[in-house]
């Protein structure tokens, strides 16, 4: 499934020739995974009803597998 949304880049790395570090496929995958996590975690955080999540992730290895390191309630 290809999602249609815009990505805001806060900064770029000169170590990657100022190109995005994630491909559009990886961004789509991260979005889908984060929405799934958000939905599941909100069931446990009843007092934070429908709050977005702040998550830390890592892309590892040649296959560029997504690993979620930590999830918490996003405090705005």
In the chain, where are the structural domains located? 19-73
Question: How does pLDDT run across 2-47, given as a tens digit for each residue?
Answer: 567 788 888 878 888 888 888 888 999 999 999 898 888 877 776 6
Closest C-alpha among 55, 68, 52, 59 to residue 22: 59
| Sign, CA torsion 7/32/61/55 | positive
What pTM does this model have?
0.76
What residues contact residue 71 under an 8 Å CB cut-off, 6+ apart? Answer: 37, 41, 53, 54, 55, 56
Q: What is the four-CA torsion angle of 30, 32, 33, 36, rounded to 10 degrees?
A: 150
Question: How does pLDDT run across 65-75, given as a tens digit for each residue?
Answer: 999 999 988 87
What residues form DSSP beta bridges with 66? 59
């Amino acid at each position: 499934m290809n999602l249609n949304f815009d990505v805001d880049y806060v900064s770029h790395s000169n170590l990657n020739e100022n190109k995005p570090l994630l491909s559009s496929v990886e961004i789509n995958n991260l979005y889908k995974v984060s929405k799934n996590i958000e939905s599941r975690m909100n069931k446990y955080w009843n007092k934070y009803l429908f709050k977005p999540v702040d998550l830390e992730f890592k892309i590892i290895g040649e296959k560029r597998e997504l690993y979620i390191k930590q999830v918490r309630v996003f405090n705005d």
